Amino acid sequence: MFGMKSMSEALQKMAGPQLRHVLGAMTTNRFTGMLTGMFVTAAVQSSTATTLMTVSFVNAGLLTLIQAISVIMGANIGTTLTAWIMSLGMGFTITDFVYPAFFMGIILIYMKKRRIVGDFLFGVAFMFLGLGTLKETGFNLVQDPNANIAISEFFQNFNEPSFFNSLLFLLIGTVLTLCVQSSAAIMAITMMLCSTGVLHVDQGIMLVLGENVGTTITANIVAMGANTQARRAAFAHLSFNAVGVFWVLLLIKPFYHIVCSISGYDPSMSPADPNFALKTSVMLATFHSTFNISNTLLQIWFVPQIAKFVCWVIKSKGIGEEEDFQLHFITSGIMKTPELSVLEAHKEISAFCERIQRMFEMVCELLTEKDQNKFVKLFSRIEKYENIADSMEISIADYLDQVSDAHLSDDTKAKIRAMLREISEVESIGDSCYNMARTINLKVQGKKEHFTEKQYANLHEMMDLTNQALTQMNQLMNGRKEHFDVNRCYNLENEINNYRDQLKSQNIIDVNNHNYTYAIGTIYMDLINGCEKMGDYIVNVVEARMGTRMRY
């Protein structure tokens, strides 16, 4: 399990950003989605990683439910490659090659440029060392008369091909996979037990079917804290595999004979046969692949119907989420793949930025609100948004701190540092919004004179420029930075600064000319300066996202 985890994480580091772009782009229809899921899973050697990534993409709104279902179907096929790799380990003395791979992996780990390749080699070596140890343990059990008798007697009770025995081993496979959280690990144990003759192959294929159900539960656990669409995607994975297991159980005898003929396996073969271990492991790998390919080819035509079914089972709450503090994209389960967790954090920061712009628009509305009751309610909402902004900053920072504890690539570490800068600056924008709202509230509560028409016009102009800058910031946070023209943001910031300087000079003249009092002029300039500060913070967010040095 440790070897597979190290190998999978190293592969994700090597191709993490590219895989995210591929998964988001190559899902134009159900068939390309299936192929994408298959190749991504084969590349990272983890169907769990692909499924979690897919669920998180649905949660982030990057994939539709129908696209996600097709990707998950492809992931089921891609994960069968792991079984074939393990079956090779059962066919020859793989431990002869393990220690040279360990040696090379450790050397490469200490070479900075080749560290990820070293992690991959180390993980592969550890995985095959584990497989070799499992195989030797199995042979020792068979050769030990006492152990062999005890194990044989235990499994002898369930040798009859009855419905109860099949259901029992199906349940065992499901529960073990759920506990271990790795179908590949249970597959390795199943191969070891069957290839050494400890477990009959009929029982082994039931364990394999159980593993296919158990592996779907991980995504469902993760999706419990996600939005409705993400929970539907995870439940679709469970439904898809459960239906597959059901129809295979109905046709188990003909299906079993077809797999035996494809793999060249003879059910009457004795464990004493020198080719028994290799033939049995190949048969199990063939069964795993044939089941998942057949199930996908059968159900891919019904993806829209599956989507309707899961939507019927998992109803939308229909509750407005804006007014309550909740992280919509970050879920603790995604921490299993830290390289991919960065995407979740980025989407959460994007939502944070959009919330802050809505907060600023409330401040603009507060400035001109005449109805006292509406004014009080609006100011209370702005206060609530300020508390939400503080909570979001802390929660996202804590999440990024947890992600940074993992072994990450240098590129991902740099992204996390930039994200920490972003949330700090976005929270500062929220503070400025709240300070402006308090200033307006003090003016209204103090029953002081109103702004002149010219002052209102100038404030609206300044707030409009600030809102344009916020819009630019959100376009960057929700898009690709390669396509963003940062000069537009700098031009807006310069325009805000110049306008602030112009209004500052004019304010002194107007106070001296007794156009309005010094007190109202001070409140007026506090709001103008608040907008200018927000412009500085917006530029800092943009520069953090673009990877350039902060100016303010």
Q: Which of 174-188, 267-281, 326-340, 383-397 has the highest mean pLDDT?
A: 383-397
More confident: 13 or 107? 107
Contacts of 251 (CB under 8 A, 6+ apart): none
Average pLDDT, stretch 215-228? Answer: 73
pLDDT at 278: 79
Q: What is the pLDDT of residue 158?
A: 64
Cα–Cα distance for residue pair 13/120, rounded to 1 Å: 10
- pLDDT at 7 (0 to 100): 66
Average pLDDT of the chain is 79
Contact 25, 35 (CB under 8 A): no
- Residue 537's pLDDT band (cuts 50, 70, 90): very high
Over residues 478-493, the pLDDT tens digits come to 887 777 888 888 999 9
Q: Please, are residues 2 and 128 in contact by the beta-carbon 8 Å criterion?
A: no
Whole-number CA gyration radius for the chain: 30
Task: List the single range of 73-77, 256-260, 517-521, 546-550 with lowest mean pLDDT.
Answer: 546-550
The mean-pLDDT minimum among 67-76, 154-163, 172-181 falls in 154-163
Q: What's the 3-state SS for 447-505?
A: CCCCCCHHHHHHHHHHHHHHHHHHHHHHHHHHCCHHHCCHHHHHHHHHHHHHHHHHHHH
Q: Which helix (H) or strand (E) holds 179?
A: helix 163-180
Helix boundaries (H) for 60-162: 65-78, 80-91, 95-109, 115-143, 145-156
Report how far residue 8's alpha carbon sits from residue 64's, in angstroms, rounded to the nearest whole number: 26
Among 20-24, 50-54, 432-436, the range of highest mean pLDDT:
432-436
Which whole number is the average pLDDT over 417-433?
92
For the chain, domain boundaries = 2-313, 332-546
Examine the pLDDT at 149 and tell me if it is beyond 60.
no
**What pLDDT is recorded for position 457?**
92
What pLDDT shows up at residue 335? Answer: 45
The mean-pLDDT minimum among 107-116, 243-252, 314-323, 440-449 falls in: 314-323
**Which one of 3.40.50.720, 3.40.1410.10, 1.20.58.220, 1.20.1530.20 gives the CATH number of domain 332-546?**
1.20.58.220
Q: Is the model more confident about 24 or about 472?
A: 472
The Cβ of residue 188 has, within 10 Å, a number of other Cβ atoms equal to 27
Res. 24: pLDDT tops 60: no
Q: How many residues does the chain have?
A: 552
pLDDT of residue 463: 94
Q: Determine the residue type at 170.
A: L
Distance CA 247, CA 238 (A): 15
The runs of H, that is alpha helices, within 369-409 are 372-404
Query: Which token pair is 132?
Result: 């070799």
Mean pLDDT value across residues 436-456: 85
C-alpha of 416 from chain center: 15
Residue 80: closest CA among 265, 295, 240:
295
Cα angle for residues 44, 224, 67 (degrees, 5° grid): 50
User: CB-based burial of residue 127 (10 Å sphere; 0-12 exposed, 13-18 middle, 19+ buried)?
Assistant: buried
Q: Give residue-wise pLDDT tens across range 74-112.
A: 888 887 877 777 666 555 555 566 778 778 888 887 877
Residue with the larger pLDDT of the pair 45 and 178? 178
d(CA 166, CA 55): 31
pLDDT in tens, 39-62: 777 766 667 667 766 776 676 566
Amino acid identity at 530? G
Q: State the pLDDT confidence band at 508, using cuts at 50, 70 and 90.
A: very high
Average the pLDDT over 435-447 and give the result.
87
- Beta carbons of 365 and 378 less than 8 angstroms apart: yes
Confidence of residue 26 (pLDDT cuts 50, 70, 90): low
What band does 433 get if pLDDT is binned at 50, 70 and 90?
Answer: very high
pLDDT at 332: 47
Res 119: pLDDT: 81
Q: Is 41 helix (H, G, I), strand (E, B) or coil?
A: helix
What is the average per-residue pLDDT within 445-450?
73
Contact criterion met (CB below 8 Å) for 473 and 538: yes
Q: How confident is the model at residue 426 (pLDDT cuts 50, 70, 90)?
A: very high
CA distance 382 to 340: 33
CA distance linking residue 385 with residue 390, whole number of Å: 9
The rounded distance, in Å, linking the Cα atoms of 106 and 119 is: 8
Predicted confidence at residue 157, as pLDDT, reads 65
Give the sign of the dihedral formed by CA 463, CA 469, CA 472, CA 476.
Answer: negative
**pLDDT confidence of residue 28:** 62
Output DSSP code: residue 1.
Answer: -
pLDDT of residue 197: 73
Residue pLDDT, tens place only, 233-243: 888 888 988 99
Q: Which residues contact 149 (CB under 8 A, 6 or more apart)?
A: none
Write the pLDDT tens digit of every residue in 314-342.
886 654 444 445 566 665 444 445 666 77
Percent over 70 (pLDDT), the chain: 77
pTM over cut 0.75: no
Residue 177: its pLDDT value, please? 79
* Residue 229 predicted with pLDDT over 50: yes
